[in-house]
């Protein structure tokens, strides 16, 4: 009962007014490049495969096989999978090598939660102090890492990463050492996006240069923490054309009507970081013109404009179909969160009114 009340209260506060597809004609769109759009679409399929981890057999197996989209990636080689929670409440995912003729990459894919209810419950915890690597571990060797002054981070997300890093970091290190010239790529959806972001910060502190892409990433910490992420990934950009934002080592992809990037609430002290790319289309799949770069972390043309800050009504408008939120959070290029044969995906990716 307490969980249900907390869930309703959190959603109600996040959705103080009906979410709408906004008309963004007031500001020119900085549409992403075709190459970046193609890369993001591919990464959406790559992270979708992570939902096969922690499911009943067959899951993901070597060389790179699963019931879902593994057939799209003939040159992939599975390194390992992980699951840190017996109740699927922690971190799950996989590490794979992407060999030529595809781009040469070491890919770490972080799965989100199966239940959006669990996601919201995960958001309802207090923040804790954030100490960047190596400070938290007392390891003073390696690169000098700037301090994160007055930084607070979501306790649940931070705990999930702490439980994950000892499992995956040895395989990441070995994969990078054995495959020189390969790019380190982190990708995550939902809760997995939060963990991917924290993993990216940790790996930067360890001397790596990862490219991080998240889909539906929730807010991670306070303003000081958001500023720290911006500084570490050079996300404080305010350009007049798309070239000013590309290339970037952190792409925070959000979707029209997805409430999760607005949570936890600003009233609780949580703020978004930069690097946002907004998908302004509820249809699947989106077109190139639907994806554009956002200026800063509070661009009203992007996810920040999907929630009204003028009113503080506790209640969800009756005309708003709450279950559409669940689809909006999953709809990133394709409907994510499934591990089913590819021909089933055609039916699930149809628009639900």
Say if residue 138's pLDDT is above 70.
no
Say if residue 58's pLDDT is above 90.
no
Question: Active-site residue numbers?
Answer: 190, 258, 329
Q: What share of the chain has pLDDT > 90, as a percent?
A: 54
Tell me if the bond preceding 238 is cis, omega within 30° of 0.
no
Where is pLDDT greater, at 49 or 342?
A: 49
Q: Calculate mean pLDDT across residues 169-186.
A: 98
Handedness of CA 60, 169, 162, 217 (dihedral sign): negative
CA 35 to the chain's CA centroid: 20
C-alpha count within 13 angstroms, C-beta hemisphere, residue 222: 13
Tell me if the bond preceding 101 is cis, omega within 30° of 0.
yes
Per-residue confidence (pLDDT) for residue 281, from 0 to 100? 86
Per-residue confidence (pLDDT) for residue 342, from 0 to 100? 61
Task: State the Cα–Cα distance between residues 291 and 282, nearest whole angstrom.
Answer: 12
All domains of the chain in start order, with CATH: 2-15+30-347 (3.40.50.1820)
Say if residue 158's pLDDT is above 70.
yes
Across all residues in the chain, what is the average pLDDT?
82
| Predicted model pTM | 0.86
User: What pLDDT band is residue 27 in, cutting at 50, 70 and 90?
Assistant: low
Task: State the Cα–Cα distance between residues 180 and 301, nearest whole angstrom.
Answer: 40
Say if residue 309's pLDDT is above 50.
no
Where is pLDDT greater, at 244 or 205?
A: 205
Select the highest-mean-pLDDT range: 55-59, 96-100, 110-114.
96-100
User: What pLDDT band is residue 150 in, cutting at 50, 70 and 90?
Assistant: very high
C-alpha count within 13 angstroms, C-beta hemisphere, residue 69: 18
Q: What's 14's DSSP letter?
A: H
User: What pLDDT band is residue 344 in, cutting at 50, 70 and 90?
Assistant: low
Say if residue 9's pLDDT is above 60.
no
Helices (DSSP H) in 30-178: which residue ranges? 34-49, 116-123, 155-178
Q: Calculate mean pLDDT across residues 42-55.
A: 94
Handedness of CA 276, 282, 285, 291 (dihedral sign): negative
Per-residue confidence (pLDDT) for residue 31, from 0 to 100? 94
**pLDDT digit string (tens) for 220-256?**
999 999 999 999 999 987 777 777 788 899 999 999 8
Per-residue confidence (pLDDT) for residue 175, from 0 to 100? 99
Tell me whether residue 104 is exposed, middle or buried, using C-beta atoms within 10 angstroms of its C-beta: 0 to 12, 13 to 18, 19 or more: middle
Tell me whether residue 339 is exposed, middle or buried, using C-beta atoms within 10 angstroms of its C-beta: 0 to 12, 13 to 18, 19 or more: buried
Per-residue confidence (pLDDT) for residue 226, from 0 to 100? 98
């Amino acid at each position: 009962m307490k969980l249900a009340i907390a869930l309703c209260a959190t959603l109600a506060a996040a959705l103080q007014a009906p979410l709408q597809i906004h008309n963004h004609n007031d500001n020119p769109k900085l549409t992403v490049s075709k190459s970046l759009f193609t890369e993001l679409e591919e990464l959406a399929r790559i992270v979708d495969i992570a939902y096969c981890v922690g499911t009943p057999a067959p899951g993901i197996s070597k060389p790179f096989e699963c019931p879902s989209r593994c057939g799209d990636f003939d040159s992939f080689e599975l390194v390992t999978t992980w699951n840190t929670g017996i109740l699927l409440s922690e971190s799950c995912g996989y590490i794979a090598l992407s060999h030529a003729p595809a781009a040469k990459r070491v890919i770490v894919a972080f799965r989100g939660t199966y239940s959006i209810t669990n996601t919201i419950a995960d958001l309802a915890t207090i923040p804790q102090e954030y100490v960047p690597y190596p400070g938290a571990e007392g390891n003073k060797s390696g690169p000098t890492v700037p301090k994160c002054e007055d930084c607070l981070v979501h306790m649940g997300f931070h705990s999930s990463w702490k439980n994950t890093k000892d499992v995956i970091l040895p395989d990441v290190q070995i994969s990078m050492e054995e495959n020189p010239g390969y790019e380190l790529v982190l990708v995550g959806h939902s809760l997995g996006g939060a963990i991917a972001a924290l993993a990216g910060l940790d790996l930067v502190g360890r001397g790596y240069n990862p490219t991080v892409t998240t889909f539906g990433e929730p807010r991670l910490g306070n303003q000081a923490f958001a500023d720290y992420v911006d500084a570490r990934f050079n996300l404080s950009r305010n350009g007049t054309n798309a070239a000013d934002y590309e290339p970037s080592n952190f792409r925070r992809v959000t979707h029209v009507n997805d409430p999760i990037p607005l949570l936890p609430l600003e009233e609780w002290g949580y703020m978004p970081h930069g690097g946002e790319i907004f998908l302004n289309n509820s249809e699947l799949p989106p077109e190139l013109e639907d994806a554009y770069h956002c200026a800063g972390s509070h661009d009203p043309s992007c996810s920040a404009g999907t929630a009204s800050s003028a009113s503080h009504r506790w209640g969800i408008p009756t005309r708003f179909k709450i279950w559409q939120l669940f689809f909006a959070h999953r709809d990133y290029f394709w409907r994510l969160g499934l591990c089913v044969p590819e021909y089933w995906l055609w039916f699930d990716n149809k628009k639900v009114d």
